Amino acid sequence: MPNGEKAKEDLFIGIDLGGTKIITALVGKTGRIISRDYRQTEAAKGLDAVVARMIDAASEVMNGGGVVSAQISAVGVAAPGPIDAKSGVVTTPPNLPGWTDVPLRQLIQDGLGLPTALENDANAAALAEHRFGAGRGTEHMIYITASTGIGGGFILNGELYGGATGAAGEIGHMTILPQGPHCGCGNRGCLEALASGTAIAREARERVKCGIPTLIADLAKGDLKHISAKLVAQAAGQGDIEAQEILDEAMTYLGVGMANLVNLFNPELIVIGGGLTNMGARIFDPVRSIIQRRAFRAAAQVVRVVPAQLGDDVGVLGAAAVAMLSEKWN
Ligand SMILES: [Zn+2]
């Protein structure tokens, strides 16, 4: 497409800001990725440097797609929470040191001269799965990402539910076990502290430290640092009882959390993404059966629990979906 020519389709830029990398893409209205940019966040260089890299990445994807900024409808930024989506402020992201109450939406909007919207990364991913992935066509969908942490987002009545300040959807920080393990958020017994990849690895390390015989110790070659959820899943797959027990326990907590959500929101669909879904049936079977056992029958009967469809693109497509949503506000 020659520079300056009016785009045939509405174009958006999605910027997925993470603690270690920034992924940026030029995206069409249907979720087609036209060009991409990957770069390190280099968070240690400070806020101004990170913002400059985000703006530079946006220019790169416009160049890559052969378009200029006048052809872009809006920019969306997905940032690690917690954020205030309504004011466009990133409050205190744990993996961006030194960032406190950063008006990121305004900074990117000023830098690019384009309307910009900001959303937390998990809510953005929920929007992406709803608009382009497993949740297409649904009205009431819950998205959950289960990897090193647990996050999520709610689509209710066809729209992202933000709550009073845009902070809704912190599925990982539901208290499940009041006296349970400490969570990174300061609370105890959160779902994330019981069922995330980090929680699974921690439990496995404790058992290995206690000298309990398990294949996990062999696979880790005796080095506790090598123990990850992936390694536990590998040991479980090879028939290790301890590993199976650790995963069963974690997945029970995950199922309990989902059963609570089914009773609260009566969703038609729960979409689960994130690294733990690589375990396949070992995550989906217990979650489905616990929902059936614990949630109200009418709600349990209608809900489907399915894997996410967008894979590694979910973050940047989420950011683009946030941009598409922002058109309503501008
Ligand atoms: Zn927590």
212 CA to centre of ligand 1 in angstroms = 28
How much of the chain, in percent, has pLDDT values that exceed 70? Answer: 96
Output the pLDDT for position 315: 96
Going from the Cα of 320 to the center of ligand 1, the distance in angstroms, rounded, reads 28
Measured in angstroms, how far is the CA atom of residue 119 from the centroid of ligand 1? 20
Q: How far is the CA of 190 from the centre of ligand 1 (A)?
A: 5
Distance 93 CA to ligand 1 centre (A): 14
pLDDT band at 158 (very low <50, low <70, confident <90, very high): very high
pLDDT at 27 over 60: yes
- What is the whole-number distance in angstroms between the Cα of residue 145 and the centre of ligand 1? 15
| pLDDT at residue 329, rounded to an integer | 46
For residue 330, name the pLDDT band (cuts at 50, 70, 90).
very low
pTM over 0.75: yes
Task: Determine contact, residues 127/121, Cβ cutoff 8 Å.
Answer: no
> 309: buried, middle or exposed (CB in 10 Å: 19+, 13-18, 0-12)?
middle
Torsion of CA 70, 30, 157, 253, to 10 degrees: -110
- How close is the Cα of 184 to the center of ligand 1, in Å? 6
Between CA 42 and CA 284 the distance in angstroms is 36
Tell how far the Cα of 175 is from the centroid of ligand 1, in angstroms. Answer: 7
User: pLDDT at residue 149 above 90?
Assistant: yes
- Which residue blocks in 210-240 are alpha helix, DSSP H? 215-219, 229-237
The answer to whether the CB of 171 falls within 8 A of the CB of 120 is no
What is the per-residue pLDDT for 328? 56
Distance 144 CA to ligand 1 centre (A): 15
* Residue 8: pLDDT band with limits 50, 70, 90: low
Cα end-to-end distance, the chain, whole Å: 26
Between the CA of 63 and the centroid of ligand 1 the distance, in Å, is 41
Q: How many angstroms is it from 187 CA to the middle of ligand 1?
A: 5
- The token duo for 29 is 């209205």
Residue 210: its pLDDT value, please? 94
The residue-averaged pLDDT of 297-311 equals 97
Structure confidence by residue, pLDDT tens digits, 37-86:
999 999 999 999 999 999 999 999 999 999 999 999 999 999 987 888 88
Comparing 164-173, 204-213, 218-227, 254-263, the range with the smallest average pLDDT is: 164-173
Q: Quick one: pLDDT band at residue 164, thresholds 50, 70, 90?
A: confident
pLDDT at 117 over 80: yes
- Chain mean pLDDT for the chain: 94
pLDDT reading at 180 higher than 90: yes
**Using an 8 Å Cβ cutoff, are 322 and 76 in contact?**
yes
Is 60 exceeded by the pLDDT of residue 197? yes
Supply 153's token pair. 């987002």
Between the CA of 183 and the centroid of ligand 1 the distance, in Å, is 5
